[in-house]
Amino acid sequence: MLYNFHTHSHYDDGKEPLEAYVVAAIEKGLSALGFSGHQPLPFDNEWSLHPSALPEYLAEARRLKEQYKNEINIYIGLEMDYIPGHSEDFAALMKDAGLDYCIGSVHLVMKPGSTNRDHIWFIDGPREGYFHGIQEIFNGNVRAAVEAYYEQQRQMVLTQKPHIIGHLDKVNMHNRGELFKTTEAWYQEAINHLLAAIQKTGTIVEANTRGVYTGKTTDVFPAVDILEKCHAHRIKVMVNTDAHHPQQLDQHFEETKTLLKRLGFSKTVTPFFESPL
């Protein structure tokens, strides 16, 4: 059974209308498709839904869900950013927007103890900005910056309870082994601490293939050693591609399913159903 719950359309930073994803998903044999546009943020940026576009996004998603109901199961969601002191409560937004599910992701790391917008480290933009943020916001303390990222995700899991946690170790994408090694004890400790919260709340970890097919990483998010820990802790996993174009809906699917099988997983789990591997 093929599905993908992590997709972006031209309403946010993806390409093509929502309907193009539905048509491509049917062509590719997917039986379920989730829309997960970036939730509107309280400040200007280049990737999230504009607040004024949210009603149209939801209306179009509902129209497609109904129109294609005999061909594919469509689920309406958002990829929500957790930014302490700035982001809207996930449950309230879920209810207001009438969503089926949400993915919780951290792209913007708030300096611990601050709510100042100038103290936000963007881990997912250009690589120079990633390095610059560590210098400017964390005084060059790489460990403090990366630990803040994982702690913010831990707080998100515990307080916002998203159904799925998005690209769990994306903070490592721009690192390329230059600033820190993921084998370091403090890094492993941060992962363990987060996974304990994920296990407790039953959050689903996505194996997100985007880094691989865009050539930015060799591993899926999260990396193999973290997926091994997920298996050891009986944490639920699913496969998503974080598609920003309809043709990316099934990128690196088969390889990732094979990897999960090799790690001992027998099934993947979505917020709505399970699928044997």
Q: Which part of the chain contacts Zn ion (CB under 5 A), choosing from 97-105, 112-120, 152-160, 231-239?
A: 97-105
Smallest distance, Å, CB 47 to Zn ion?
9
Please answer whether residues 145 and 187 qualify as being in contact, where contact means their C-beta atoms are separated by less than 8 angstroms: no
Size of the site for Zn ion (CB under 5 A): 4
Q: Which part of the chain contacts Zn ion (CB under 5 A), choosing from 84-92, 154-162, 163-171, 190-198?
A: 163-171
Distance (Å, whole) CA 203 – CA 205: 6
Cβ proximity to Zn ion: between 242 and 250 the closer is 242
Pair of tokens at residue 107: 């792209």
Cβ proximity to Zn ion: between 79 and 169 the closer is 79
Is 242 a residue that touches Zn ion (CB under 5 A)?
yes
Distance (Å, whole) CA 210 – CA 257: 14
Distance (Å, whole) CA 244 – CA 59: 20
Residues in Cβ contact with 157 at an 8 Å cutoff, skipping those fewer than 6 apart: 104, 165, 194, 197, 198, 201, 203
Is 250 a residue that touches Zn ion (CB under 5 A)?
no
Q: Which part of the chain contacts Zn ion (CB under 5 A), choosing from 130-138, 187-195, 238-246, 259-267?
A: 238-246
Q: Which part of the chain contacts Zn ion (CB under 5 A), choosing from 11-19, 50-58, 104-112, 214-222?
A: 104-112
Please answer whether residues 106 and 152 qualify as being in contact, where contact means their C-beta atoms are separated by less than 8 angstroms: yes
Cβ proximity to Zn ion: between 79 and 219 the closer is 79
Smallest distance, Å, CB 99 to Zn ion?
15
| Per-residue DSSP letter, 168 | T
Among 105, 153, 160, 256, binds Zn ion (CB under 5 A): 105
Strands in 164-165's sheet, in edge-to-edge order, are 3-4, 32-38, 73-81, 101-105, 164-165, 204-208, 237-240
Cβ proximity to Zn ion: between 210 and 236 the closer is 210
Interface with Zn ion (CB under 5 A):
79, 105, 166, 242
